[in-house]
């Protein structure tokens, strides 16, 4: 069983913010091909919304970013999922807009949601799909404020390319054995 976690914040006001890129990508996944029959449902025991197929679970923690680990740990323990079979999809201020990295066993690097997951699991032995959100505006705004800004209209026009690449990587994660995956680094021409 594999677990794909999209990070974000549950309130409507955060829906299109940079910090909610994980939610947005999982929402797109359930609209395509073999995944389009999946529907997220709220489950209080998992502190989030999830949907399940035989071989994987998609999870959107509803705990707010800083407590994402609570949701991930609850579903991991319930379904007895190995940490290396977890993929966390999240925004990353250290990467430029359009840059995507698939990595395993990395530090949180200041991301509070990832830090919460590492602390809850007691390990960083899981995969991360880091989606770059950095742009020139970041230099003028503190990081904690920058992540809750919406994408610009120009960035939104380019967002479908980022979603497509991200979905390809998630599907690869679902379909491959974790020991066949490798770290990947993409710069999408946006």
Structural domains for the chain = 2-187 (3.40.50.1470)
C-alpha dihedral, 38 to 4 to 69 to 151, nearest 10°: -80
Mean pLDDT for all residues in the chain: 92
In the chain, % of residues over pLDDT 90: 75
Residue 183: what pLDDT?
74
176 confidence band (pLDDT: 50, 70, 90): confident
Give the strand pairing for 86-96 and 127-134: parallel
What does the pLDDT read at residue 190?
60
Residue 179, pLDDT score: 64
- 90: annotated active-site residue: no
Indicate which residue of 19, 90, 111, 178 is catalytic. Answer: 19
What lies within 8 Å, CB to CB, of 117 at 6+ separation is: 5, 68, 69, 72, 88, 126
For residues 125 and 116, what is the distance between their CA atoms, to the nearest angstrom? 14
Cβ(17)–Cβ(147) below 8 Å: yes
At 87-138, the pLDDT tens digits run 999 999 999 998 999 999 999 999 999 999 999 999 999 999 999 998 777 6
For residues 182, 67, 28, 52, the Cα torsion angle rounded to the nearest 10 degrees is 80
């Amino acid at each position: 069983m594999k677990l794909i976690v999209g990070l974000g914040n549950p309130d409507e006001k955060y829906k299109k913010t940079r910090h909610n890129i994980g939610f947005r990508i999982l929402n797109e996944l359930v609209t395509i091909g073999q995944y389009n029959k999946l529907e997220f449902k709220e489950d209080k025991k998992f502190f989030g919304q999830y949907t399940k197929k035989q071989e994987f679970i998609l999870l959107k923690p509803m705990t707010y970013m800083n407590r994402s680990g609570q949701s991930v740990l609850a579903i991991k323990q319930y379904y007895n999922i190995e940490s290396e079979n977890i993929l966390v999809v999240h925004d990353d201020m250290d990467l430029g807009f359009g840059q995507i990295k698939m990595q395993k066993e990395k530090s949180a690097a200041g991301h509070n949601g990832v830090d919460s997951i590492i602390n809850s699991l007691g390990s960083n032995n899981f995969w991360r799909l880091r989606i770059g959100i950095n742009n020139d505006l970041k230099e003028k705004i503190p990081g904690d404020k920058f992540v809750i800004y919406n994408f610009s209209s120009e960035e939104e026009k380019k967002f479908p390319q980022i979603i497509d690449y991200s979905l390809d990587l998630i599907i690869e994660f679902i379909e491959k054995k974790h020991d066949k995956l490798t770290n990947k680094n993409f710069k999408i021409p946006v």
